[in-house]
Structure 1
Amino acid sequence: MAFPETFRAYQYESYGPLENELKIQSNVPQKKLGAEQVRIKVHSASVNPIDYMLLEAVGQLFLGKAPSANEPFGIGFDAAGEIVDVGKDVKRLKVGDAVYAITPFSAFGTLSEYSVVDEQFVTNPSNLNFDEAASVPLVALTAYQGMFNHAKLQKGETVLILGGSSSVGMYAIQFARAVGARVITTASAEKAEFVKSLGADQVIDCRKEKWLDVKNTGRFVTILPMTQPVKEAEFGAQLISEVHVHPSADKLASITKFIEAKEVKPVIDTVYPFEKALNAYAKLKTQDGLEAMPFPKTYRAYQYENYGALMKELKLHDDIPQAKLGSQQVRIKVRATAVNFIDCMLMEGLGEAFLGKTPSANQPFNIGCDCSGEVIEIGTAAKRLKVGDAIYTMAPFTAFGTLAEYLVLDEEFVAIKPSNLDFNEAAAMPSVALTAYAGMVRHAKLQKGETVLIFGGSSCVGMFAVQFSHATGVRVITTTSSRNVELVQSLRADQIIDYTKEKWLEPHSVDAVYDCGVEPSAWNDGAQLVLKNSGRFIILPMTMPVKESEFGAQLVGEVYNTDPSAEKLDTTTKYIESGKAKHIIATVYPFEKVLDAYAKLKTYHARGKLVVEVEP
């Protein structure tokens, strides 16, 4: 297979801080191939703490020499790719084989487009893609040798793994579970469920609890250099040794068997483009990289197969297959969601017009546009978010489906959850806050000192419209019933009109009218009378036919499409975190009681948002 004479690789000419010394070189010459070596076109590589430890601290000690401008050092031990050339004595592998490899200290340099490695350090797994395969060798071998070569773990024994959510710890848990050992591990509280999903039987919160008693026949194995001097064993337990990895294709083949048997799986945090290797090391050094969280193959979600009465057609299904993740998408574990009138409208009246298609038994439709939760997986091109982020989102019409345990959505629609809201509170926000914001800011273009009349100040959209307007410095007048007067006063409305007893305002006295869906004929029936001749009228939605403007006020339009985006949600977050706007929740329902939430919604008497808690 053809290959270029030169290639790109990361190298360093001096020991020192990685971010200063590590450079990408674009004209590195191909090495001559030894008789027992293979040349690999590297598709994926991974970064490890040992990389920067060698560069910044222990390189001279471990390698016995220093890099220079004439002889720069490569970096990286793990690689996955395709063999493009083989030495004359290579027996096992051939050109075209998909492989993964670990290099010894004498040959590291996998963070490059090509790598020459002895055949003995290379093998070929069958069920991993290149990214997955590149994440395996060093950490899996370290865990494998610790569990089996050193601790010699047997079925029925108990192992305590310190650092179960570390890259090595994750494999150690899985190897131990695979041989039938009982696994106890330490991890932070937020990672407890993750390590349990890998097979841990018991998790000790490393921030709050001490370890357990150890049997006097126990064995202690560490991957870290021992603190000196070493205290002698007091109770008979044995200090085996530190784990020094001795790479070989045989050991990689043993690991491959575990992986192909699905007893062990690779876990990836983030995939970076080659040009962003320094970003990967920066992330590694923070030790904040939360592992890609596991998730089930199927999940529960509400769907409908026909348009019609929501209470009749909407069903909870418990075997929905996980969607494939696109490169710019994120997978969300939904913690809470909310019900909205648009859900009912799409199912019962407007679905065909808005969506341009109908549901069926083979292609049922999902429901719901608001949710909050956690990111558990990110696509290869997702840049802003990371696994473990607490988020909230409004899905666009094309991706409805938040009334579910899991959701796949383009990253552009997902924002970090306001820091001062829990998941239920955050789920109450997106669609109503964005609708209010679109009406007040984008359509009405309200300015400080103006006056706005909001029809329906106690509606979910109206409550945010009142707060956003007040925060802008606008005088807020709103309509509501007498039972909701105190509620809208608490949101800082300046004047309240009881629509059950009073009509609106003096002629031509307000700059904007925002109808939150409660006075559909307002433009035709009298809104023009209260608007100044420069006034703006916004509604969701309009009653037809539309009467022409009589006095110069402008019918700006209907707020149908709020064009959801993370950027707009970030703006909303600023209002929330600064205390200028707050959510109002009427009731929180369990996931199984969604139909009760819709029944309440349809009464039009909920004082605030109806939230569904998917996972407590």
Structure 2
Amino acid sequence: MTNTHKALINQEDKSLKVQEVPLPSIISKGEVLVQVEAVALNPGDWKIRDWLSKPGDLHGCDFSGTVVELGEGVTTVQVGDRVASFVLVGSFAEHVKTKASLLWEVPDSIDWEQAAALGGAAADTAFQALSLRHGLPVLGEPVTDKRPFLVWAASTSVGMYAIQVAKLAGYTVIATASPKNEALVKSFGADAVYPYADESTPSKIAEAYPTLSQALDCFAEGTSTLSIAKSFSNKAGKIITLNPVNDETLATDFPEVKHEWTTCYTLLGEAVSVGPMEFPLNEEDFKAMAEWKQKVPELVASGKLKANPISHQDGGLESINDGLDWLKAGKVSAQKLTYRI
């Protein structure tokens, strides 16, 4: 193995350029080096590129690949294993370094692109939001009373995984999506789908599901969180959002509806910085993440957890910048862009 590899590096003009850089070094106990086979793109990738990065920074979260080097104390994976996961940054490269405990072993039944999508931040965020923030028994015995859970903007990447995670916990899943994505959302397990842009949707949900009190806001912009609060017939409950929400109307009109922002960065088992934002070590999140990763291969093999629709893109590292531009422009809907490396 050489001492260098190719990686996408941030430039002065905020574009990404393929450069030859030093190969990541395995220096900490429990780390592994993975040869990247495929990557998947997230909306957060273009936001980091444009808003939070500086020249010389690495990029990319989601990846799948082959283990090529083990650090001290690693026993959960071996050299040659097919694995997938996400990192803070650095997956848009020929190799990536990560903690072994954050990897899951990819079954032969799925390809590298599906693995990158399944192993990435979206599925893990869905697990985090529902299991760790809402307390759904994703890792335990499912509930038997079919209590309701609402996924707002369910055709998003996190949304499609959230549907599946909620079903694992035994919940009845209510979803919102555009009419064109209704069939897709139902194919992932949604029991009922309402048009998110219809002003009558909150009242219809509240009438149909009077005990609803838990939701995930996968959009978390504009009035989406307020619309969810209006879907709670008793005007009380909890909403987990994927962006920070500051809505005075929500606080005034629905004081018993609590909302909390969650981010997958706290799953990584270390304190991290993303631009000006600081996220301290969260040992509970990290421990639960490791348990989830151990369960994922079985769920994938059994068909209980499947990847979002994949849009295979050509061009490898050189073309990822274009994909990020498409995401930024809103040209990607209900699909995960993936690239072979």
Determine if the TM-score, normalized by the shorter chain, exceeds 0.5: yes
Tell me, in whole angstroms, the C-alpha distance in 1 between the residues paired with 2:175 and 2:332.
17
1:512 partnered with 2:214: yes
Could you tell me how far 1:298 is from its partner in structure 2? Answer: 1.9
Tell me, in whole angstroms, the C-alpha distance in 2 between the residues paired with 1:392 and 1:407.
11
Structure 1 match to 2:260: 557
Which of the pair has the greater relative contact order for Cα pairs under 8 Å at 6+ separation? 2
**Contact 1:444 / 1:556 at 8 angstroms: preserved in 2?**
no
Structure 2 match to 1:595: 321
Tell me, in whole angstroms, the C-alpha distance in 2 between the residues paired with 1:575 and 1:535.
29
Tell me, in whole angstroms, the C-alpha distance in 2 between the residues paired with 1:551 and 1:297.
57
Could you tell me how far 1:545 is from its partner in structure 2? Answer: 4.5
What pairs with 1:273-422 in structure 2 (closer than 5 Å)? 295-306=1-12, 309=14, 313-317=15-19, 319-326=20-27, 327-349=29-51, 351=52, 359-360=54-55, 364-395=56-87, 397=88, 400-422=89-111
1:443 partnered with 2:140: no
Unaligned residue ranges in structure 1 (runs of 5+): 1-294, 352-357
Q: Deviations over 1:76-112 (max 9, x none)?
A: xxxxxxxxxxxxxxxxxxxxxxxxxxxxxxxxxxxxx
The one of 155, 170, 174 equivalent to 1:477 is: 174
Structure 2 match to 1:222: none
Structure 2 match to 1:52: none
Structure 1 match to 2:231: 530
Amino acid at match of 1:476: V
Tell me, in whole angstroms, the C-alpha distance in 2 between the residues paired with 1:475 and 1:553.
23
Amino acid at match of 1:543: V
- Segment drifting more, 444-453 vs 400-409: 444-453
Amino acid at match of 2:136: L
Could you tell me how far 1:401 is from its partner in structure 2? Answer: 0.5
Tell me, in whole angstroms, the C-alpha distance in 2 between the residues paired with 1:593 and 1:468.
32
TM-score (norm 2): 0.81
Tell me, in whole angstroms, the C-alpha distance in 1 between the residues paired with 2:331 and 2:163.
19
Could you tell me how far 1:569 is from its partner in structure 2? Answer: 2.1
Q: Deviations over 1:249-287 (max 9, x none)?
A: xxxxxxxxxxxxxxxxxxxxxxxxxxxxxxxxxxxxxxx
**Contact 1:330 / 1:379 at 8 angstroms: preserved in 2?**
yes
Tell me, in whole angstroms, the C-alpha distance in 1 between the residues paired with 2:211 and 2:252.
16
**Contact 1:601 / 1:610 at 8 angstroms: preserved in 2?**
no
Tell me, in whole angstroms, the C-alpha distance in 2 between the residues paired with 1:533 and 1:544.
18
TM-score (norm 1): 0.46
The secondary structure found in structure 2 opposite 1:605 is coil
Tell me, in whole angstroms, the C-alpha distance in 2 between the residues paired with 1:589 and 1:575.
26
1:503 partnered with 2:201: yes
Tell me, in whole angstroms, the C-alpha distance in 1 between the residues paired with 2:254 and 2:247.
18
**Contact 2:113 / 2:310 at 8 angstroms: preserved in 1?**
no
Tell me, in whole angstroms, the C-alpha distance in 2 between the residues paired with 1:485 and 1:402.
32
Could you tell me how far 1:403 is from its partner in structure 2? Answer: 0.6
Tell me, in whole angstroms, the C-alpha distance in 2 between the residues paired with 1:534 and 1:431.
29
**Contact 1:520 / 1:542 at 8 angstroms: preserved in 2?**
no
Could you tell me how far 1:454 is from its partner in structure 2? Answer: 1.0
User: Aligned pairs, how many?
Assistant: 301
1:570 partnered with 2:267: no
Tell me, in whole angstroms, the C-alpha distance in 2 between the residues paired with 1:574 and 1:366.
32
Unaligned residue ranges in structure 2 (runs of 5+): 138-142, 269-288
Could you tell me how far 1:533 is from its partner in structure 2? Answer: 5.1
**Contact 1:434 / 1:572 at 8 angstroms: preserved in 2?**
no
When residues 534 and 441 of structure 1 are mapped into structure 2, their CA distance, relative to the original with a 3 A threshold, is farther
The secondary structure found in structure 2 opposite 1:606 is coil
When residues 372 and 297 of structure 1 are mapped into structure 2, their CA distance, relative to the original with a 3 A threshold, is same
The secondary structure found in structure 2 opposite 1:600 is helix
Could you tell me how far 1:586 is from its partner in structure 2? Answer: 3.2
Tell me, in whole angstroms, the C-alpha distance in 2 between the residues paired with 1:487 and 1:593.
27
Tell me, in whole angstroms, the C-alpha distance in 2 between the residues paired with 1:577 and 1:405.
27
When residues 521 and 551 of structure 1 are mapped into structure 2, their CA distance, relative to the original with a 3 A threshold, is closer
Q: Deviations over 1:439-495 (max 9, x none)?
A: 111112236322111111111100011111122221111111111111111112111
What CA RMSD, in Å, does the superposition of the two structures yield over aligned residues? 2.3
When residues 566 and 417 of structure 1 are mapped into structure 2, their CA distance, relative to the original with a 3 A threshold, is farther
Amino acid at match of 1:609: K
Could you tell me how far 1:420 is from its partner in structure 2? Answer: 2.9
**Contact 1:475 / 1:494 at 8 angstroms: preserved in 2?**
yes
When residues 324 and 609 of structure 1 are mapped into structure 2, their CA distance, relative to the original with a 3 A threshold, is same
Tell me, in whole angstroms, the C-alpha distance in 1 between the residues paired with 2:31 and 2:254.
49
Structure 2 match to 1:156: none
Could you tell me how far 1:550 is from its partner in structure 2? Answer: 4.7
Amino acid at match of 1:426: A
Structure 1 match to 2:284: none
The secondary structure found in structure 2 opposite 1:365 is coil
**Contact 2:46 / 2:325 at 8 angstroms: preserved in 1?**
no
Amino acid at match of 1:325: I
Structure 2 match to 1:610: 337
Amino acid at match of 1:535: G
The one of 433, 452, 458 equivalent to 2:155 is: 458
What pairs with 1:531-546 in structure 2 (closer than 5 Å)? 531=232, 532=234, 535-546=237-248
**Contact 2:36 / 2:95 at 8 angstroms: preserved in 1?**
yes
What pairs with 1:172-183 in structure 2 (closer than 5 Å)? none
When residues 347 and 367 of structure 1 are mapped into structure 2, their CA distance, relative to the original with a 3 A threshold, is same
The one of 413, 417, 431 equivalent to 2:121 is: 431
Amino acid at match of 1:371: F
The secondary structure found in structure 2 opposite 1:576 is helix
Could you tell me how far 1:554 is from its partner in structure 2? Answer: 4.0
**Contact 1:509 / 1:530 at 8 angstroms: preserved in 2?**
no
The secondary structure found in structure 2 opposite 1:404 is coil
Tell me, in whole angstroms, the C-alpha distance in 2 between the residues paired with 1:455 and 1:413.
28
Structure 1 match to 2:305: 581
The secondary structure found in structure 1 opposite 2:201 is coil
The secondary structure found in structure 2 opposite 1:375 is strand
